[in-house]
A and B are shown apart, each in its own frame.
Chain A
Amino acid sequence: MVTRPDRDGDQQLRLLDDAWDKASQHWQDGMARRFDTGHVTPLLRESRGYLEALRKLMDTLEAAERDTEG
């Protein structure tokens, strides 16, 4: 069964979040904090924004297909 791209994207985001949690358990100096605020946090924020927009659009596409069947 083919899953929706937004759901696969959410799954990938969770994996990245987990990887960052794991890394930050061993890396807690100033460089780690700068990497977090300068790279990881913006990446996760942009990703969440994109995936939320994609989810809404996929919902609309599914509704359009359903509503115009027959």
Chain B
Amino acid sequence: MGPTAERTGVTSVHADIDALKGLHEALVRYRHAQREVTGRGDEEIKVVRASLEAKAGRWRARLEQCQAEFGACQERAARAAAEGPAAADGPVDCSGYARAAEQCAERLEQIRRWQQRIDAEASEFGGTASRFGDLLQNDLPRTEEHLLAIIRSLEAARRVQAPGS
């Protein structure tokens, strides 16, 4: 083998091992990066669940207030009706309070529907996330180890071959 061919051969030997080392580094980086991604995904679910729960709490309080105001109005209306045309305030219209209470109930119901949908979708996602987490935790390190073993065996074989080649 002439010097040019020899140099080409050496370059090629290094190129494949270097490429495998590059792949190994990429796998390690991938494992760390995707573990961070899974953590952020889980965190995002918690944040939105907490946010919806806080909104539901606020709308429950507003609903109670709206219902109390509507109830008070109905009492005033009943008193006015009992007093007849002589009532000081005249007929009492509670429709505005009724609409407000209805709107509060609708908003609360809307939030509850989202909570139920997120619970269902998060539960379904949990299976996929668990499999992927297991892959990152167990399978990928084994893959990295396997690749390292291949790299070591290639390096060892080349060292053995090098003096006679």
Where the two chains meet, the residues of A that have a C-beta atom closer than 8 Å to any C-beta of B are 5-6, 8-9, 12-13, 15-16, 19-20, 22-23, 25-27, 31, 35, 39, 42-43, 46-47, 49-50, 53-54, 56-58, 60-61, 64-65, 67-68
Q: Are the CB atoms of B16 and A47 closer together than 8 Å?
A: no
**Consensus secondary structure, chain A interface:** helix
Minimum distance in angstroms from A45 CB to a CB of chain B: 10
The answer to whether B150 has its CB under 8 Å from any CB of chain A is yes
Interface size on B, residues (CB 8 A): 47
Q: Are the CB atoms of A54 and B125 closer together than 8 Å?
A: yes
A58 to B12, CA, bound (A): 45
Minimum distance in angstroms from A17 CB to a CB of chain B: 9
Q: A12-B30, A58-B41 are in contact. Are A27 and B114 (CB under 8 A)?
A: no
Q: Are the CB atoms of B44 and A12 closer together than 8 Å?
A: no
Extra contacts, 16 of them, besides A26-B19, A60-B117 (Cβ < 8 A), are A5-B37, A5-B44, A6-B41, A16-B26, A19-B22, A26-B16, A39-B146, A43-B139, A47-B132, A54-B37, A56-B121, A57-B125, A60-B121, A61-B118, A65-B51, A67-B110
